[in-house]
Amino acid sequence: MHLPGPFDIIRVVELEGAFRVPDFLFPDATEEVIKASKVGSDPRFYNAETNMLFMSFHTLVIRTQRHTILVDTCIGNDKERPELLDWHHRSGPFLADLAAAGVPAESIDFVLCTHLHADHVGWNTKLLDGRWVPTFPNAKYLMARTEVEHWSHVALSSAAAANHRSWDDSVQPILDAGQALIVDSDYEIEPGIHLIPAPGHTPGNVILHVSDGKERAYLIGDTIHHPLQIEHPDWSSSFCFDPEQSRATRKAFLDGVAETPSLVIPAHFAAPTAVRITGDAHGYDFETVEKDQRLALK
């Protein structure tokens, strides 16, 4: 039996801080319920004075003995997002920050988009001489087949620009460049690293499972957006394609990892980002992982 080697996970932040009021993201949220929750008294995740959620938009880089894998590419620079002014025509230092973390764009072997929402594909491309070109020139971009089929249908059938124009500027150029690798939702990248189907937030949403035979981590994208959904797993976001399926997927995932040492690393938790899940189907809680020799999540 061939066991995978050790892994390290690096977090590189594009945007972090106060994001929106809770009911912007969670229709079922009320200020009273939130302030009575554990998260409601934790200033890392919620500001009780302003009633604002704290969130992060970051990428996660996994280094193994074989590959460097970048998971979710955030918002991107120069993107046309007039409906979302904090994402519109950004000019941030993300690529320089990535390089400063020891991960220059040329070093990436695989880019995984857990799903194809605009804030998970933005740095798939960069603007060069008026054209959108792949940011990571040596990478294969992994996209779940179900997800690509869904959004390509939306792009072809809608008069409006698909997904805040992100299909046109951040996904189609990858397909045109021949760098996309369209895969099944249980695709194995290397031993110990494979996708897990997690439909609901989008039709082809996936989780990335990472294990070296001893330690285990799950990079879960938007399966859980905010720590509030650990205490309230029945809360699906306003942006979930199928709220009922999203709820079922989230609860099944929490059942599977609760009371295990597995690291759970979502796409939008503010620092310290990684958590371990406690509790059971009658109620879940979490412990933040402040220090771990495998993680660079500052």
3-state secondary structure of 200: coil
In order, the DSSP letters of 39-106 are: GGG-TTTEETTTTEEEEEEEEEEEE-SS-EEEE---S-SS---TTSGGGTT----HHHHHHHTT--GG
CB atoms within 10 A of CB 274: 25
Residue 231: which CATH number? 3.60.15.10
Using alpha carbons, select from 209, 201, 265, 271 the residue that is nearest to residue 238.
Answer: 201
Task: Please tell me the distance from the alpha carbon of residue 177 to that of residue 125, in angstroms, as a whole number.
Answer: 11
Backbone angles phi, psi at 94, to 5 degrees: -55, -50
In a domain, 2, yes or no: no
Backbone angles phi, psi at 18, to 5 degrees: -60, 130
205 Cβ neighbours under 8 A, 6+ residues apart: 114, 115, 144, 147, 197, 198, 199, 221, 222, 223, 249
8 Å CB contact between 87 and 75 = yes
Question: How far, in whole angstroms, is CA 140 from its chain's centroid?
Answer: 18
Q: What is the pLDDT of residue 280?
A: 84
Q: What is the pLDDT of residue 35?
A: 85
Tokens of 64: 């193994």
Q: What is the pLDDT of residue 164?
A: 86
Using the structure block, give the residue that is written with the tokens 């895969």.
183
In a domain, 32, yes or no: yes
Each of the 298 residues of the chain gets a pLDDT tens digit; together they read 344 567 899 999 999 999 999 999 999 999 889 989 999 999 999 999 999 999 999 999 999 999 999 999 999 999 999 998 999 999 999 999 999 999 999 999 999 999 999 999 999 999 999 999 999 999 999 999 999 999 999 988 875 667 889 999 999 999 999 999 999 999 999 999 999 999 999 999 999 999 988 899 999 999 999 999 999 999 999 999 999 999 999 999 999 999 999 999 999 999 999 999 999 878 999 999 976 766 766 5
Using the structure block, give the residue that is written with the tokens 């620009």.
161
3-state secondary structure of 172: helix
In a domain, 26, yes or no: yes
In a domain, 53, yes or no: yes
The count of structural domains within the chain is 1
In a domain, 24, yes or no: yes
Residue 163 belongs to what domain range? 8-296
In a domain, 3, yes or no: no
> What percent helix, strand, coil does the chain show, rounded to 5?
25, 30, 45
Q: What is the pLDDT of residue 3?
A: 43
125 Cβ neighbours under 8 A, 6+ residues apart: 76, 132, 133, 134, 135, 169, 170, 173, 174
pTM higher than 0.85? yes
CA terminus-to-terminus distance, the chain: 35
In a domain, 218, yes or no: yes
Task: Please tell me the distance from the alpha carbon of residue 56 to that of residue 59, in angstroms, as a whole number.
Answer: 10
In a domain, 75, yes or no: yes
